[in-house]
Structure 1
Amino acid sequence: MKATRIRAVRIRGGLSLRVDARACTVVVLLVLAALAASVALIGTGDFPISAADVLRTLTGDGTRIQEYIVRDLRLPRVLVGLLVGAALGLGGALFQSISRNPLGSPDVLGLGQGATAGALVVIVLFSGSATAVTLGALAGGLVTGFAIYLLAWKRGVHGYRLVLVGIGVSAIVTAVNGYLLTKADIVDAARAVVWMTGSLNGRDWTQVWPLLVLCAVLVPLVLVNARGLLMTEMGDDLSYALGVRVERVRMVLMVSAVLLTSGATAAVGPVGFVALTAPQLARRLTRSPGPNLVPAMCMGATLLIVADLVSQRAFGADQLPVGVVTGVIGGAYLLWLLVTERRAGRI
């Protein structure tokens, strides 16, 4: 890391903060890209609205029909996309940092499959409402995360053991999901398959507020423990010597990552590979060591909104779920990552 990239900012009281100029620049550019894509996405649909009209409507100067389309129909969808992408990006960065493995993301560890299992149980066995499906998905993700943590525990949770246990749990839960689909009638099976694709279609303010509360509580909690997480990447013995309560930090951050991932999946269904790719892309852009939590969060939000914009512009409004687009992009990235890791001798 070049010394010229680090800036020391002195604040009142004699305290100082170290600021990575490149990382800050990346965060600002990602936020601007997410906002620009959001404006373009709000204006995209069967009733197209120019970017200027979208901005005027958001400030209260639009017509009545524009107010309805922008504020009641499209803005909630975009906000859900931003919050879900941010939650998945942050959750993925936490898991990859805790496991010290670029493959240690919720997609690989099976949290998405666990949330899917919870939703399928509600749909197939109880024909539950949309709210019940959301709660079932949240419960399924939490139970799966708890099971992975217990099975991976052996005088602490470490690296490849967490990934291997997660892969095994993912395979089991995937089999359970297949079994549940075979037991469903045609109506419930179709409903389940639609949910399993991961889509922002039909999302409204009832999904925005729970996600906003979840992020408002967990993001500050994660950032408060970010220093401890950075220290654990240097090894447990050194972290303990420096006064870091390693297992407490890991427990708090793993629970936060599970809640973020489960909440995002419960809101829109399993959106694949955002949690895997966002932290990796953020790290490559910032070129900074450590978990890069804030850049990963911004990258996740940008990725999901841009993917939804691409799907709507290429295939028309509500024709292609965003989970299909992220799956294609993320699958290609995963193959590239596996080849790179193999060439480097790490797998």
Structure 2
Amino acid sequence: MVAPPVRGDNPALQKSHRPDAMTDLQRIRRTHTVRSLAVTILLVVLLVALALSDLVLGHRTYSMSDLIGALLGQGDEGTRFVILQLRMPRALIGCAAGIAFGMAGIGFQHLLRNMMASPDIIGITAGANTAAIFGIVVLGLSGMPLACLAVMGGLLTALLVMALAWRGSFDPTRLILIGIGVAAGFNALGSWLMVRSNQWDIQAATRWLTGSLADAQWSDLPILATTTLVGAMLLLALDRNVSTLQLGPEMAAGLGVRVSRVQFEVIIVGVLLLAVATATTGPISFVSFLSGPIAAVLVGRGTSALIQSGLVGGCLVLGSDIVAQHLPTTQVPVGIITSIVGGPVLILIMVLMTRRQEL
């Protein structure tokens, strides 16, 4: 008589008790997708709430009925002027600039394979700032001409850094080191221009360098909004290849990614977003730096946080602008608030990410 097979020898039993790796992978992906969608919805709701708060709060606080009436062309002329001509451009430009800063920031952080890296580190902001200082103190520019000069300064700085860093490909370490050197040179040049200018030009340049939404106008919105929309779409199209690049250039090339081309495209799109946003609002500190890590903490590992980083950037700018207008005894530029908040938030994020890596 043949003995019955033991449990370990039965192929059917082995199959039934074998871990289903594919099912586990699908469950993990579904969990990440649900979490990413939930975070995105919450950030959109928060961004809309902050924008509405920015519209109704101020020296005179309006009700939601006043806001709706102004949007529909009803109510008194003074209310419509304050909401539609003074507050709405500020809120919309702050939202668009924050999204641009956030998406440019995480694009460079993915490219450099370091979530603690800042896109400002490769000198783009320094180039735009120096061009703006030159335009203010030497050429006497303001408004759109000054913004165009700042954009050109950022783009030319990026081209200079890329030309100096190119050795058949963009090595992240070489790009960072050359960017630091270029940024230091432009910062020194900007300081020299400030020292040799008169007090009125110094005040104007300092106000621009701090980052402010006080001078936001409807005329600034079309270029910024169009650049942000197009740049966001391009970064989303590149997101899959950029995520693969985080495995390393050799591994990415083996998986069919054109490494140098993708790196160049991400740099150009990120520079354009950062330069146009900086030219519109000035260099609002810490937004590009913090948006990516905050979004990464919210969505968790294994999920692209590109969209969420843009939304976090918009929330940071609008939330800081509300605080800048109402918390101090006098209004201060939004860049001062982001600088004050940025340090403690950065320390908290680093602690959270370090604990997560240890686990």
TM over 0.5: yes
Q: How does 1:1-347 map to 2 (within 5 A)?
A: 4=27, 6-7=29-30, 20-289=33-302, 291-315=304-328, 319-335=331-347
Task: For residues 254-309 of structure 1, give each alpha carbon's deviation from its aligned partner in whole angstroms, at most 9, with x where no partner exists.
Answer: 10000000000000111011000000000000003355110101110011101111
- Cα pair 1:92 1:106 within 8 Å, conserved: yes
Could you tell me which amino acid in structure 1 is paired with residue 266 of structure 2? L
Q: 156-165 or 23-32: which moved more?
A: 156-165
Q: Distance in 2 between matches of 1:340 and 1:292?
A: 17
1:252 deviates by 0.9
- Answer whether contact 2:32 2:303 (CA < 8 A) is retained: no
Structure 2 gap ranges (5+)? 1-23
The alignment-based identity, stated in percent, is: 31
Deviates more, 1:62-71 or 1:294-303: 62-71
Greater Cα offset, 183-192 or 46-55: 46-55
Deviations 1:184-231 (CA, angstroms, capped at 9, x unpaired): 122211111111111000201111111011122222111111111111
- When residues 300 and 60 of structure 1 are mapped into structure 2, their CA distance, relative to the original with a 3 A threshold, is same
Q: 1:277 to 1:25 in 2, by over 3 A?
A: same
SS of equivalent to 1:320:
coil
**Aligned partners of 1:274, 1:316: CA distance in 2, in Å?**
24
Q: Normalising by structure 1, what TM-score?
A: 0.89
Taking structure 2 as the reference length, what is the TM-score of the superposition? 0.86
- Greater CA drift, 336-345 or 37-46: 336-345
226-235 or 296-305: bigger deviation:
226-235
Question: In 2, Cα distance between the equivalents of 1:75 and 1:333?
Answer: 28
Give CA deviations for 1:54-90 in whole Å, capped at 9, x if unaligned.
Answer: 2443344443322221111111110000000000000
Q: How well do the aligned residues superpose, as a CA RMSD in angstroms?
A: 2.5
Give the direction of change, closer, same or farther, for the CA distance of 1:316–1:291 in structure 2 (3 Å limit): farther
Q: Which deviates more from structure 2 when the two are superposed, residues 85-94 or residues 97-106?
A: 97-106
Letter of the structure 1 residue corresponding to residue 332 of structure 2: L
Deviation (angstroms), 1:342: 8.9
Q: Partners in 1 of 2:351 and 2:189 — Cα distance?
A: 30
- Residue 159 of structure 1 aligns with an amino acid whose one-letter code is P
Q: Contact 1:5–1:21 at 8 Å: present in 2 too? A: no
